Amino acid sequence: MGRPSDVLATTATKIGAPTGTDLLYQDRVNPQWVRLLDVLQMNARYTRCEGTELFTEDGRRILDFLSGYCVHNLGHNHPAIVDALKDELDRRGPAMLQSHVPGLAGELADKLCWRAGGRVNKVFFCSSGSEGVEAAIKFSRAHTHRNGMLYAEGAFHGLTCGALSLMGDPFWRESFGPMLPETESVPYANLEALERKLSTRRFAAFIVEPVQGEGGVRVPPPAYLEMAQALCRRYGTLFVADEVQTGMYRTGRFLASHHFNVEPDMVILAKALSGGLIPSAAVLMSDEVYESVYGSLGRAIVHTSTYSENSLAMRAGLAAIDALERERLGDRALAAGDFLRTRLRAALSGYEMVREVRGLGLLNGIEFQTPHKLALRAPFEAFAKIHPGMFGQVVVMRLFRQGFVTQMCGNNFMVLKVSPPLIVNEREADAFVDAVAEVVEMMHCSGTFWSEALGLAQRAILK
Ligand SMILES: Cc1ncc(COP(=O)(O)O)c(C=O)c1O
């Protein structure tokens, strides 16, 4: 491994080679990530990102249909967020003083609680979704004096140790054990299984994504969440909504919970909360939960996080809510989601490898399935044997070549996530549908799609 100056010197002489900082990233941060992007032929160098558009050094314009996993509800670098951050810096106000009352946090907490409604009345701020989940684990234990945590199969709640203990997929867990004890799963949308577990009265909380994101964009049956909440109440278990992906109008309402008539005891927000430029997360909770954690003077700082109420994140959060509502992006998400799903269903109907197009607002998924016809099944199964994610990555690679950033769901390699910024327009949605239709036509009718998979497999081995 060379020293930084050696690396920079080498790049200076190469035309079209990675820049010095890219090489330093490769050298010092995560070489395997660079390798993976190279294998997928997605290692573009972005120079400017605005709204739904990403511009690359080699002159390409790419549309973002992933939104950084539901971070960019407002699109990239929204002027209102950029201006709010610049203003806050220019103000030279208290930041990280840790010895004052940060009023901006109060203002943001008030706005969040009013919009969330229901039981929540207090907010704990932190800096990531996982950190929010960790807080929810601690708070629900403190409130119920129980240790158990219940989660749904297929869930994604984050990769810190506690949050990871609430995710069953061995891919994420391998070599990081042991997990937190007394964490158990139930099948998603199965009330009988849920009641069996809850009736043991061992569980402090049931944590659930109102629409499962990485599990495959699974929208629950209409009554599931309401019934699950009622069961939780019956057995003294807190009902916790992980709205890290679904919150901030992603599904058309401020919270996805609002579609399902539930009033969670805790709600976790992150990702789009602060407009896509600065980390922030929030755990909204009832007064009763707050009291059981911070209930006396001596416990005022019993759970904190250094950057939690920092003024930049708070200003960005206020600006994000304001911009989302001024631009009526909830309504737009509902309308654009309907439009996208209708167009996708029409374009993809009749293809045997497309199982379903589903979603809520602008959190959507296209589920693929194993083909029946032998001519398709043989290559499909062969590549699935090499790696179960191979098929999906060829889809993602093809779409990237056509000018779209997408990804398969992290816990379900057969579902392509379709979650553009909420500002996406019909022209962009139409272009996306055309691109997906072309890729799907190709996977059914041309050997090129499958030879691409072969190329991908070879690059993965040789790289
Ligand atoms: C539903 C959900 N919860 C929690 C998390 C963890 O958030 P973070 O990556 O900010 O820690 C994620 C991340 O993708 C998520 O999708």
- Report the C-alpha gap between 70 and 234 in whole angstroms: 33
Return the residue whose CA atom lies nearest to atom 3 of ligand 1: 157
Which of 271, 307, 411 gets mutated to test ligand 1 (max ligand atoms within 8 A of its CB)?
Answer: 271
3-class SS at 429? helix
Give the distance (Å) from ligand 1 centre to CA of residue 286.
Answer: 22
Binding pocket residue ranges, ligand 1, CB within 6 Å: 69, 128-130, 133, 156-158, 209, 213-214, 242, 244-245, 270
- pLDDT score recorded for residue 3: 41
- pLDDT score recorded for residue 1: 36
Ligand 1 atom nearest the C-alpha of 69 is 14
- pLDDT score recorded for residue 169: 92
Most distant CA atoms of the chain, gap in Å = 70
- Rounded to two decimals, what is the model's pTM? 0.95
With beta carbons less than 8 A apart as the criterion, state whether 219 and 358 touch: yes
Give the distance (Å) from ligand 1 centre to CA of residue 51.
Answer: 22
CA dihedral 175, 180, 181, 183 (to 10 degrees): -100
Which strands make up the sheet holding 363-368, listed edge to edge?
354-360, 363-368, 412-418, 407-409
pLDDT in tens, the chain (463 residues): 334 444 333 333 334 457 788 899 999 999 999 999 999 999 999 999 999 999 999 999 999 999 999 999 999 999 999 999 999 999 999 988 889 999 999 999 999 999 999 999 999 999 999 999 999 999 999 999 999 999 999 999 999 999 999 999 999 999 999 999 999 999 999 999 999 999 999 999 999 999 999 999 999 999 999 999 999 999 999 999 999 999 999 999 999 999 999 999 999 999 999 999 999 999 999 999 999 999 999 999 999 999 999 999 999 999 999 999 999 999 999 999 999 999 999 999 999 999 999 999 999 999 999 999 998 999 899 888 888 899 999 999 999 999 999 999 999 999 999 999 999 999 999 999 999 999 999 999 888 888 888 888 888 876 6
Give the distance (Å) from ligand 1 centre to CA of residue 12.
Answer: 38
- Report the first-to-last Cα separation within the chain, whole angstroms: 18
3-class SS at 135? helix
Q: How far is CA 271 from the centre of its chain?
A: 7
Residue showing tokens 């190709």: 442
Ligand 1 atom nearest the C-alpha of 209 is 1
Give the distance (Å) from ligand 1 centre to CA of residue 283.
Answer: 13
- pLDDT score recorded for residue 12: 37
Residues 6+ apart with CB under 8 A from 456: 39, 40, 390, 393, 394, 397
Could you report the per-residue pLDDT of 111-169, keeping only the tens digit for each? 999 999 999 999 999 999 999 999 999 999 999 999 999 999 999 999 999 999 999 99
- Say how many C-beta atoms besides its own lie within 10 A of residue 33's C-beta: 12
Return the residue whose CA atom lies nearest to atom 2 of ligand 1: 157
Give the distance (Å) from ligand 1 centre to CA of residue 164.
Answer: 10
